[in-house]
Structure 1
Amino acid sequence: MKRKITLALAAILVLAVIGVVAAWPRAQHVPSRSPEDWAATPANIQRGAYLAHVGDCAACHTVRGGAEYAGGRAIETPFGRLYAPNITADRTHGLGNWSADDFWNALHNGRSRDGHLLYPAFPYPNYTRVTRADSDALYAYLRSVPPAAVPNRAHQLTFPYNQQVALMGWRLLYFRPEVYQPVPERGPVWNRGAYLVEGLGHCSACHSARDRFGGSAAGLEGGLIPMLGWYAPSLNSPREAGLAEWPVEHIAQLLRTGVAPRATVVGPMAEVVRASLQHLSDQDTIAMAMYLKALPPREAPAGAAPEPVPEVVLQQGKQIYADRCLDCHGADGRGLPPHYPPLAGNAALTVANPVNAIRIVLNGGFAPGTAGNPRPYGMVPYGPVLSDAEVAAVLTYARNSWGNRGEMVDPREVNRYRNVPLD
């Protein structure tokens, strides 16, 4: 009997292995059109530098105060801590000994030069869509970055997430290598925007919810950014970013400068605008804006109507607003855009998850300094002078004034984010 059970289990295991092998995402190889595509010419290096801005590569691969692209920045995840590697031209620690094919394999297939699987904190599920020509230009640029002899740090992941076999399982569930395929009926501008948003821009890395295994949901439907404690709003929901109702020019302005008539970026998005998006051409920001505006709207099922807010909370919040907020945001909540964003009709304020509003009141709100907004206005932090209950009250008041309708903010949630690091 035991022998039969053992044979049955062995057969099941063999079938499972066969199934995994059959379903395993095959590595794809697309050859360079010509060695001239990755040659160290001024044109290739300039183009690659631009693409590095699109991908915001320096943000992860540069530690504060360190050599550019020398790695070492810690990336906190629910599974442990990862460290971004050195991608300078250093031959020992960086890309100095990598070929253009090695680089393409990392970008497209998520494999390092020695064949080991890369963790998707390096967003190759997005970068896989990048064309070989763009990969080669990016390679040419990074090979021009002065070598920095900075050793790479070992990741600090808990078991079993530190095992390659676990990563194999993750890739089986969530990763398929694929170069972006244009949609002919959409036209060149929309396709350029889709290519940037879905590929090097890796917008879904933040603007999509993740499950317990770190898998990203399809689309750009918003989600809490793991470990950072900021909510990246849905880009296709009228109740959140509501970009379908924006003029294309305003979306492009927000991407390029960090401020627009309807919104100001803060938190992680401010870093993205400062380090990445402000360096894009007008044509590319317009293309991204057109693509984002045209996203098919997806409305989350309407929940229960918010419970009535106690009058005592609204009156407390109204008084705090008059004392602390009215001078900038106005009695009517319309603000003075782009310097002081409007609160009336502001979906970022009334979104179901109030974490961003809580953190802005506690720690201040600061738009990025950009070429298009070189002297940004900021909001002072009120965490040192307002209690948890007072922060909750003023936010509840703002979320339920001037036509806004939002749930009451719980003081316990304010306390949860009071001491969360800013980055």
Structure 2
Amino acid sequence: MKKIAFALLAVLGLAALVWHLNLRDEADLSAPAPVVAATPELLARGAYLARVGNCAACHTTRGGTPYAGGRGIDTPFGTVYSSNLTPDAQTGIGSWSPAEFWRALHNGRSKDGRLLYPAFPYTSYTAVTRADSDALYAYLRSLPATAQAATPHALRWPFSTQPALAVWRALYFQPGVLQPEPQQSAEWNRGAYLVRGLGHCGACHTARNALGASDDQLDLAGGLIPMQNWYAPALTSPHEAGVAGWPRNDVVRLLQTGVAPGATVLGPMAEVVRQSTQHWSPADLAAATTYLQALPQSDAKVPARDLPPTPARVAERGAQLYDKHCVQCHGAQGQGVAGAYPALAGNRAVTMANTANLVQTVLNGGYAPATAGNPRPFGMPPYVLVLNDADIAAVLTHIRSAWGNQAGAVTELDVNRLRAN
């Protein structure tokens, strides 16, 4: 009986702890709601903040009404469907108060108190200020109301349950507005707010554990984007996507146009630039640049590499395939064409340890975003129907070891895993 009693007390204690931790910093909905006057200035600010957060990307289906929700977001635990953010009273946020909207951003709770799944990145949005939340709320409430009922999530048990989500939140979620760091400049603090908060860069650029939580110890140190199989490179490494040593104008240009000397954004980041960062104000682009360039950089020196030799048949096959399919654009020495086709020699996107993006680009093509600053970008066609796994592995192995590049081989298995997905 004593063992049963202790076990029951332990369960009750854990339940109480989880309950307490899930009510941390909870918004007070009983207080009188402040009036949010939808002035033209506030609506313009809210529209801008929605761009910064790239809200439409998840809350709009392809060809659907903007912000009406229904887009499926695949996760390792099933599919989560985005909600309707238009002011429809029954299916959208038409009956929500500013405080309830703020609570969703800040604490990850819906109007009825239900816990939200972190596919909605409230783990980042908790840093958003109440003033910015109110501006977003006012803007969304100004949109045409669209009646579109929520699509039920398709998550596996137990991930589909509120108790499981409560435990996850108790382990991995700490609500709290980002506090300015007084030893840093105002521009740095603004950049931190954008990158870590509404911009939610860590949602992709930070590794996740088996339960889908970001590893704070590896903040912005790179991670494979779940279910998309693109690698968001480390913003803390000069060998991946760190920009500490770049000219400031080049960082701004990359975020604004998708291209910069020696760099082109592809894959999911191309969508971010097209729909979000190209619309950021010059001041916010400068602030984000200041913050990104101040990130501590790991591995300041390129480590010595002791790589096994590439088998002769693979090396020969890779060189032949390069001459047949790649040389016209990227050059005999991997030098590329300035302003059109990126150089492959000395390109850190080529020599990164993680080869997922290289394989994805060859399989499915590489397309920079069309932006105001680069309206007609050059692209690379897909080779998924042209080259088999062995061919892609061979040509990428050649590229990673030619013209002074020193990176490991790509295997057929590496290619097959991404082709199969």
Q: TM-score range by the shorter chain?
A: over 0.9
What amino acid maps onto 2:259 in structure 1?
V
Listed one character per residue, the Cα deviations across residues 172-201 of structure 1 (whole Å, up to 9, x for unaligned) are: 111111111111221011111110000000
**Structure 2 unaligned blocks of 5 or more:** none
In structure 1, how many angstroms separate the alpha carbons of the residues matched to 2:172 and 2:5? Answer: 32
CA positional deviation for 1:304: 7.4
- Segment of structure 1 superposing worse, 294-303 or 135-144: 294-303
What does residue 222 of structure 1 align with? 222
- Segment of structure 1 superposing worse, 10-19 or 297-306: 297-306
Q: How does 1:260-275 map to 2 (within 5 A)?
A: 260-275=260-275
What does residue 315 of structure 1 align with? 316
Listed one character per residue, the Cα deviations across residues 80-99 of structure 1 (whole Å, up to 9, x for unaligned) are: 11100110011110011111
Q: How does 1:227-306 map to 2 (within 5 A)?
A: 227-299=227-299, 305-306=306-307
Question: In the alignment, is the contact (CA less than 8 A) between 1:263 and 1:338 conserved in 2?
Answer: no
**Partner residue of 2:38 out of 37, 40, 45:** 40
Listed one character per residue, the Cα deviations across residues 13-38 of structure 1 (whole Å, up to 9, x for unaligned) are: 333334445544513438999946x3
What amino acid maps onto 1:294 in structure 2?
A
What is the aligned length? 417
What amino acid maps onto 1:383 in structure 2?
V
SS in 2 for 1:76: strand
**Partner residue of 2:132 out of 131, 134, 138:** 134
Question: In the alignment, is the contact (CA less than 8 A) between 1:62 and 1:70 conserved in 2?
Answer: yes
What does residue 71 of structure 1 align with? 69
In structure 1, how many angstroms separate the alpha carbons of the residues matched to 2:405 and 2:234? Answer: 18
**Partner residue of 2:182 out of 174, 181, 184:** 184
CA positional deviation for 1:402: 1.8
What amino acid maps onto 2:132 in structure 1?
D
Q: How does 1:96-111 map to 2 (within 5 A)?
A: 96-111=94-109
In structure 2, how many angstroms separate the alpha carbons of the residues matched to 1:302 and 1:9? Answer: 52
In structure 2, how many angstroms separate the alpha carbons of the residues matched to 1:338 and 1:167? Answer: 48
Listed one character per residue, the Cα deviations across residues 63-122 of structure 1 (whole Å, up to 9, x for unaligned) are: 001111010100001111110011001111001111100100000010000001000000
SS in 2 for 1:199: helix
CA positional deviation for 1:166: 0.5
What amino acid maps onto 1:236 in structure 2?
T
Is 1:346 the equivalent of 2:344? no
CA positional deviation for 1:324: 1.4
In structure 1, how many angstroms separate the alpha carbons of the residues matched to 2:134 and 2:64? Answer: 26
Question: In the alignment, is the contact (CA less than 8 A) between 1:263 and 1:342 conserved in 2?
Answer: no
RMSD: 2.0
In structure 1, how many angstroms separate the alpha carbons of the residues matched to 2:137 and 2:317? Answer: 57
Listed one character per residue, the Cα deviations across residues 368-391 of structure 1 (whole Å, up to 9, x for unaligned) are: 100010001001112222221111
In structure 2, how many angstroms separate the alpha carbons of the residues matched to 1:318 and 1:370? Answer: 34
Q: How does 1:161-200 map to 2 (within 5 A)?
A: 161-200=159-198
In structure 2, how many angstroms separate the alpha carbons of the residues matched to 1:12 and 1:114? Answer: 29
SS in 1 for 2:385: coil
Is 1:383 the equivalent of 2:381? no
SS in 1 for 2:322: helix
What does residue 83 of structure 1 align with? 81
SS in 2 for 1:245: coil
Give % identity. 54
What amino acid maps onto 2:291 in structure 1?
Y
CA positional deviation for 1:396: 0.4
In structure 2, how many angstroms separate the alpha carbons of the residues matched to 1:110 and 1:312? Answer: 55
CA positional deviation for 1:401: 1.4
CA positional deviation for 1:298: 2.8
SS in 2 for 1:307: coil
What does residue 200 of structure 2 align with? 202
SS in 2 for 1:198: helix
- Segment of structure 1 superposing worse, 17-26 or 122-131: 17-26
Question: In the alignment, is the contact (CA less than 8 A) between 2:33 and 2:98 conserved in 1?
Answer: no
CA distance change for structure 1 residues 403 and 67 in 2, over 3 Å: closer, same or farther? same
What does residue 115 of structure 2 align with? 117
- Segment of structure 1 superposing worse, 172-181 or 313-322: 313-322
CA positional deviation for 1:11: 2.9
CA positional deviation for 1:299: 3.9
What does residue 356 of structure 1 align with? 357
SS in 2 for 1:361: helix
SS in 1 for 2:231: strand
What amino acid maps onto 1:265 in structure 2?
V
What does residue 8 of structure 2 align with? 10
In structure 2, how many angstroms separate the alpha carbons of the residues matched to 1:89 and 1:14? Answer: 40
Question: In the alignment, is the contact (CA less than 8 A) between 1:80 and 1:156 conserved in 2?
Answer: yes
SS in 2 for 1:81: strand
What amino acid maps onto 1:192 in structure 2?
R
In structure 1, how many angstroms separate the alpha carbons of the residues matched to 2:126 and 2:113? Answer: 16
What amino acid maps onto 1:234 in structure 2?
A
CA distance change for structure 1 residues 151 and 364 in 2, over 3 Å: closer, same or farther? same
Listed one character per residue, the Cα deviations across residues 228-285 of structure 1 (whole Å, up to 9, x for unaligned) are: 1111101101221131221121111111111111211111111111111111111111
Question: In the alignment, is the contact (CA less than 8 A) between 1:25 and 1:172 conserved in 2?
Answer: no
CA positional deviation for 1:328: 1.4
SS in 2 for 1:9: helix
In structure 1, how many angstroms separate the alpha carbons of the residues matched to 2:371 and 2:3? Answer: 67
What does residue 329 of structure 1 align with? 330
